């Protein structure tokens, strides 16, 4: 089964917390790769082997978009692998 790709916009006023989170999820909804984008435009990322900044993969399965959207500070969107890969590449180095 192909992986799932998710973008979550986090609506808040915390300058040191990400405002967008991109996740590649396996069949069990565990993160395989993740990108976080911060209010100042800084990007950090993590996969099973490396991390940049303070970004780490989650230790539990990611809830469904419907479950995430129950908390109104989060706006989830299912995205394509291409969109995720472009965001992943933009967070290199």
Domain with 14, as residue range(s), is 4-90
**CA distances in angstroms from 73 to 3, 7, 19, listed in the order given:** 25, 14, 10
> DSSP letter at 40?
T
Please state the pTM of the whole predicted model.
0.94
Q: What is the pLDDT of residues 30-87, one digit of tens each?
A: 999 999 999 999 999 999 999 988 899 999 999 999 999 999 999 999 999 999 999 9
Domains: count for the chain:
1
């Amino acid at each position: 089964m192909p992986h799932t790709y998710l973008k979550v916009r986090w609506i808040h006023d915390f300058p040191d917390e990400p405002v967008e989170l991109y996740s590649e999820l396996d069949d069990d909804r565990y993160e395989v790769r993740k990108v976080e984008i911060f209010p100042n435009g800084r990007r950090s990322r993590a996969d099973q082997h490396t991390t940049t900044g303070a970004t780490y993969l989650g230790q539990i399965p990611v809830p469904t978009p419907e479950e995430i959207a129950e908390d109104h500070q989060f706006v989830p969107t299912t995205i394509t692998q291409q969109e995720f890969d472009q965001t992943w590449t933009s967070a290199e180095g």
